[in-house]
Structure 1
Amino acid sequence: MLSLSSLPRSWRVCGALLAGTGTIMGALTTHLPEADFGPGGRLMAHGALEMQMWHALALLALGLTTRDRPTKPLVLGGCGLLLGTLLFCGGVYYTAFTGQHAAHVAPTGGSILILSWLCLAAGWVRG
């Protein structure tokens, strides 16, 4: 079971995994033929890749700088960064490769990312 004290380590691990899979997505986005993408998909995938890598770095930094028992706003912010990144980037990648929109997945992920950054800001102001 995940405890509050293990969250910073989990954020570091997840940040590293996001960066690693982002590197793979970068290679795919660069080298796959245009036919493997939906209309405008290569550019869309590149946008998702950038968002993924920035949030991977954010999770790594959060995991490296958070004390043993993070406050509730930091917990919400850090976990939200992970969930929001997965939903947003996953939805955008899906659309980029298939040309089909994944309902409200990407906008929901983007909204979670915005709220997560606000939680982090609140946690750091209070801390």
Structure 2
Amino acid sequence: MGALTAHLPDARFAEGGRAIAHNAMEVQMWHALALLALGVSLSQRPTRLIAVAGCGLLLGTLLFCGGVYYTALTGHHAAHVAPTGGSLLIISWCTLAVAWALRA
């Protein structure tokens, strides 16, 4: 998505869409790193709560970034897709914090 955001012609984006897509790409990148760290964490001492939080992070990232990419490319909002994904990300991060606190 970084290459697409950087090299796609401006005409393919809605007005201001390149910046919007760049922000979505950054969110996607940081959450990908968090998911990789969770994968390493689960390989050592897996817990169900951490696994649930990881699944929520994955689904939330897909929904949020997908909705934002759609908006960046079309100029139309994807109804409740991005807000649902964002809410799921928040809930998942909170669940992960609780899981790590219980584990410590």
| TM-score normalised to structure 1 length | 0.77
Q: Which moved more, 1:61-70 or 1:97-106?
A: 61-70
1:12-65 Cα shifts (integer Å, max 9, x gaps) = xxxxxxxxxxxxx11111111111001110000000000000000000000012
Q: Structure 2: 5+ residue runs without aligned partners?
A: none
Residue 90 of structure 2 is matched in structure 1 by: 114
The CA distance in 1 between the partners of 2:43 and 2:102, in whole Å, is: 14
The CA distance in 2 between the partners of 1:108 and 1:69, in whole Å, is: 30
- Quick check: 2:42–2:51 contact (8 Å CA) kept in 1? no
Residue 18 of structure 2 is matched in structure 1 by: 42
1:126 aligns with 2:102: yes
Shift of 1:68: 5.7
Q: Which SS does the other structure have where 1:39 is aligned?
A: coil
The CA distance in 1 between the partners of 2:37 and 2:45, in whole Å, is: 16
Aligned residue pairs: how many? 103
Shift of 1:70: 2.6
One-letter amino acid of the structure 1 residue matched with residue 56 of structure 2: G
| TM-score normalised to structure 2 length | 0.94
Residue 60 of structure 1 is matched in structure 2 by: 36
The CA distance in 2 between the partners of 1:68 and 1:112, in whole Å, is: 25
1:76-112 Cα shifts (integer Å, max 9, x gaps) = 2100000000000000000100111100100000000
Q: Give me the CA root mean square deviation.
A: 1.2
1:95 aligns with 2:83: no
- Extract structure 1 runs of 4+ deviating beyond 3 A: none
Aligned 1:6-17 pairs, distance under 5 A: none
The CA distance in 1 between the partners of 2:47 and 2:83, in whole Å, is: 27
The CA distance in 1 between the partners of 2:87 and 2:46, in whole Å, is: 23
Q: Which SS does the other structure have where 1:38 is aligned?
A: coil
The CA distance in 2 between the partners of 1:102 and 1:110, in whole Å, is: 13
Q: Structure 1: 5+ residue runs without aligned partners?
A: 1-24
Identity %: 69
Residue 19 of structure 1 is matched in structure 2 by: none
